[in-house]
Amino acid sequence: MCHEFYGGTSGGLVGAEVVMKILVCRCEDVTLHELDEAIARGHDDLESLKRYTGFGTGWCQGKACLALCAARLEAHRGQVITPFTARPPYHPIPLATLAALPELPEVHPDPIGGRRAG
């Protein structure tokens, strides 16, 4: 869980209230307040909660937030039966593209026994 603090008494704001934003899904910026609000609106299973809030749809596919969201849902008497369906990218993506690295040239074997760049 990640905590981000806003407000406080710095910067000349004497007596200002400290507001805390608790992130449950860092990939999709879903807060604990948004999760609780979705549960209160009737999203009482993991799949509908995921579709409403967007948790578990980021780069980690729920590896970092699924357990916390499932525990929160169970605490509110929701249905935590099976994990939601993780969906990989539709088309395979080279890791160099995801990492924003330049593509390396292909290397082909040379018939004389060495290697040559293609």
Q: Which of 9-13, 29-33, 41-45, 76-80 has the lowest mean pLDDT?
A: 9-13
Distance of CA 96 to the CA centre of its chain: 21
* Boundaries of every domain in the chain: 2-90
**pLDDT mean over 23-36:** 92
| Beta bridge mates, 118 | none
Q: Which CATH architecture has domain 2-90?
A: Orthogonal Bundle (1.10)
Give me the pLDDT at residue 38, please: 93
| Sequence letter at residue 55 | F
| 110 band by pLDDT with thresholds 50, 70 and 90 | low
| Sequence letter at residue 39 | I
Give me the pLDDT at residue 8, please: 46
Written as six digits, the tokens of 101 are 């690295």
Written as six digits, the tokens of 77 are 């008497």
Of residues 24 and 114, more confidently modeled: 24
Count of CB atoms situated within 10 Å of the CB of 14: 6
Q: What Cα–Cα distance (Å) separates residue 9 from each residue in 2, 21, 76?
A: 21, 17, 34
**pLDDT mean over 93-104:** 73
Give me the pLDDT at residue 30, please: 93
For the whole model, what pTM was predicted? 0.55
Count of CB atoms situated within 10 Å of the CB of 80: 17
